[in-house]
Structure 1
Amino acid sequence: MTSLETILGSAGGVASLSYLQTRGVPRREVDRELRSGALLRVRQGWVASPAANAEIVQAVRVGGVLTCQSVLRRLGVWCDDDRLLHVRVGKHTTHLSAPHDRRMPLGRPGSRGVRIHRTVAGSEALETGRSVDSVEMAVIHLFHCEPRDNVIVSLDSILNKRILSHERLEEIASILPKKFRSFLSLVDSAAQSGLETKARLGLRRHGIPYRSQVFVEGVGRVDLLIGDRVVLEVDGEAWHSGPLAYAEDRRRDLELLRQGFVVVRVSYAQVMNQWALIEEVIRSLVARREHMWAGRHRRAGLGGIALGGEQLNRTI
């Protein structure tokens, strides 16, 4: 592998000529690779390897760099995917191209599946010639781009995957407008999926007490425990669709019922599209005090199971 290939690979397969030059790649070598087809010209002053990631190439072709959701999804961060290409451009950049053809104007942002982000005042400067924003820069733009709950979903995932620490997120939030800083009080690094986060925030809005990732003997960790005995399990499409996962979920449900818990198992589609109905069911259970162990449960020998997990969020 040549030095050009190594340097270009470290930049995501796409880089500016100035970036390559500062790393010792002579212009004549770049020109030779362009003539041979080993490099492709993306836009004026930018080149890419034929194997470069398509989203990165498209972002540079538009006239900026990859940012926000488009960066975080590449790292496996749970995002409320809007299926748009997120591109950060300069604060005053005006000449933007279509992601698939640099000769065609972009037109109205969003009309070609592109969301344009203007560089945020006060944010860290991007290293010249790089084609992908840092995680920190992507998070800054996430705050400005998404509704609060969607931001918290992604922050939970970032913490759970240990991509950034809570301290680093606080540093990032410190340079953002004050309205964003309160978001960090709602994050939970124990959350295993974006669906769990969405469910947790929905419960919090209505003052329903819960704990996340609680350990139940004979079952393992459950997604959310409401009060003392209502278990809310949120099934993501990826982890609960196979026959083994299906069988294990039913085993867990049966064991929970044996121990006196009330099990509410919901699907990805229900959380995303029917949350109001889920909320109605849970609020009814809470109104009837079925989320708490009662005397009849104690007399039946229930309610003595040792639990471990986050401190109960008692808001009612």
Structure 2
Amino acid sequence: MSTTSRAASRRAELASWVRARNGISHSSDIRAAGFTVYDVAGVVSAGMLNRVRRSWLVTPECDARRVAAAGVGGRVTCISAAAIHGFWLPDSARAEQTHVAVKGTASRIASDALRIHWGNGPAPTGPNETEDPILNVLFHVAHCLPRRDALTVWESAIRKKAVTADVLARVAWRSAEAGALATVASALSDSGLETLFVDGMRGAGVRVEQQVWIDGHPVDGLIGSSLVTQLDGFAHHSSAADRRRDLDADARLVLRGYVVLRFDYYQVLFQWDQVRDTILTAMAQGAHRRPVLAVR
């Protein structure tokens, strides 16, 4: 193989190596992997990788949030990292700023495009990390978002199997906000909407049993012995067949003695007081303790 061919092969190998690491790598890690300064110079001059702050190399398609974090010597965290992982985020948390964690000793950073988190999470981080560990992401979420919104992110992380509820319960959070979330976060909610609903009812002093099987199907929530709550997500009922299926399920539950209350995405998020008061009124009328057929 000619010198030119070997150089081209090394450039391709280096670009592929960086791409496999989320499209961003520190020069010290690149050298430790066996690449030389000549390999780096070649891949940069060929436009296959770009430099950030001299010490970082990124692919052209690298996520802009990772690039922004590397640009200030920090790590993507909080809701920005949650978005990268595909966790459920409430609309109020979809900010344009990139949330970045930096060392407490870092110099002050002035940028309207960044939301800087100075506190340290419970998990240690390496010097060349561009994204916080999941536990640190959740730690910052607990401090950054209102409690109910933060809980939706935490339970979404559990649903995505990024972490488990028992692990969260054993972490030394050193934070009242994160510690409180760790005591209630679970894997029972199928969506962020369910998390908001159950937590809202918990705040009203009402216990909701989740994913109970009745008549061969799971219901979103059961209060007492007979009050069923069903939640329709934002994209629910994409077809008339879906709607008919739910109406049939509700009818079967009613025939067995259950009371069924169904709420949609908009009501839970934007008309919460009305949702809560409807359930409390139904309970005041005894809807949660009516006799039902022993079929579950």
Is the Cα–Cα contact under 8 Å of residues 142 and 151 in structure 1 kept in the other structure? Answer: yes
Q: Report the counterpart of residue 48 of structure 1 in structure 2.
A: 58
Unaligned runs of at least 5 residues, structure 1: 97-104, 308-316
Q: Report the counterpart of residue 202 of structure 2 in structure 1.
A: 204
Q: CA deviation at 1:26?
A: 1.6
Structure 1 position 5 matched with structure 2 position 15: yes
The superposition leaves residues 167-201 of structure 1 with CA deviations (integer Å, 9 ceiling, x where unpaired) of 321343x1423553232221221110111111111
SS of 1:291's equivalent in the other structure is helix
Specify whether residues 127 and 240 from structure 1 end up closer, same or farther in structure 2 by C-alpha distance, changes over 3 A only. Answer: farther
**Could you tell me how far apart the structure 1 residues matched to 2:13 and 2:138 are?**
31
Q: Report the counterpart of residue 118 of structure 1 in structure 2.
A: 118
Structure 1 residue identity aligned to 2:53: R
Q: CA deviation at 1:133?
A: 1.8
Q: Report the counterpart of residue 313 of structure 1 in structure 2.
A: none
Specify whether residues 88 and 245 from structure 1 end up closer, same or farther in structure 2 by C-alpha distance, changes over 3 A only. Answer: farther
**Could you tell me how far apart the structure 2 residues matched to 1:245 and 1:59 are?**
43
Q: CA deviation at 1:238?
A: 3.4
Q: CA deviation at 1:281?
A: 0.7
Q: Report the counterpart of residue 16 of structure 1 in structure 2.
A: 26
**Could you tell me how far apart the structure 1 residues matched to 2:103 and 2:249 are?**
52
Q: CA deviation at 1:261?
A: 2.0
Q: CA deviation at 1:76?
A: 2.7
Alignment RMSD (CA, Å): 2.3
Unaligned runs of at least 5 residues, structure 2: 1-8
- Aligned pairs for 1:33-72 (under 5 A) are 33-72=43-82
Is the Cα–Cα contact under 8 Å of residues 68 and 142 in structure 1 kept in the other structure? Answer: yes
Structure 2 residue identity aligned to 1:192: D
- How many residues are aligned here? 283
Is the Cα–Cα contact under 8 Å of residues 63 and 95 in structure 1 kept in the other structure? Answer: no
- Aligned pairs for 1:1-316 (under 5 A) are 2-81=12-91, 82-84=93-95, 85-94=98-107, 96=109, 106=111, 111-112=112-113, 114-120=114-120, 123-172=122-171, 174-178=172-176, 180-218=178-216, 220-293=217-290, 298=291, 303-307=292-296
Q: Percent identity over the alignment?
A: 27
Is the Cα–Cα contact under 8 Å of residues 24 and 57 in structure 2 kept in the other structure? Answer: yes
Is the Cα–Cα contact under 8 Å of residues 256 and 293 in structure 2 kept in the other structure? Answer: no
Structure 1 residue identity aligned to 2:260: V
**Could you tell me how far apart the structure 2 residues matched to 1:257 and 1:235 are?**
18
Q: CA deviation at 1:119?
A: 4.2
Q: Report the counterpart of residue 312 of structure 1 in structure 2.
A: none
Q: Which has the higher contact order (CA 8 A, sep 6+)?
A: 1
Specify whether residues 142 and 207 from structure 1 end up closer, same or farther in structure 2 by C-alpha distance, changes over 3 A only. Answer: same
**Could you tell me how far apart the structure 2 residues matched to 1:89 and 1:169 are?**
23
**Could you tell me how far apart the structure 1 residues matched to 2:51 and 2:69 are?**
14
SS of 1:142's equivalent in the other structure is helix
Specify whether residues 242 and 47 from structure 1 end up closer, same or farther in structure 2 by C-alpha distance, changes over 3 A only. Answer: farther
Structure 2 residue identity aligned to 1:20: I
Q: CA deviation at 1:244?
A: 4.1
The superposition leaves residues 40-92 of structure 1 with CA deviations (integer Å, 9 ceiling, x where unpaired) of 12333222101212332233335422112222222232233512321112223
Structure 2 residue identity aligned to 1:221: P
SS of 1:76's equivalent in the other structure is coil
The superposition leaves residues 126-163 of structure 1 with CA deviations (integer Å, 9 ceiling, x where unpaired) of 22223222222212222232232223222222223322
**Could you tell me how far apart the structure 2 residues matched to 1:188 and 1:38 are?**
44
Is the Cα–Cα contact under 8 Å of residues 12 and 132 in structure 1 kept in the other structure? Answer: no
Is the Cα–Cα contact under 8 Å of residues 11 and 130 in structure 1 kept in the other structure? Answer: no
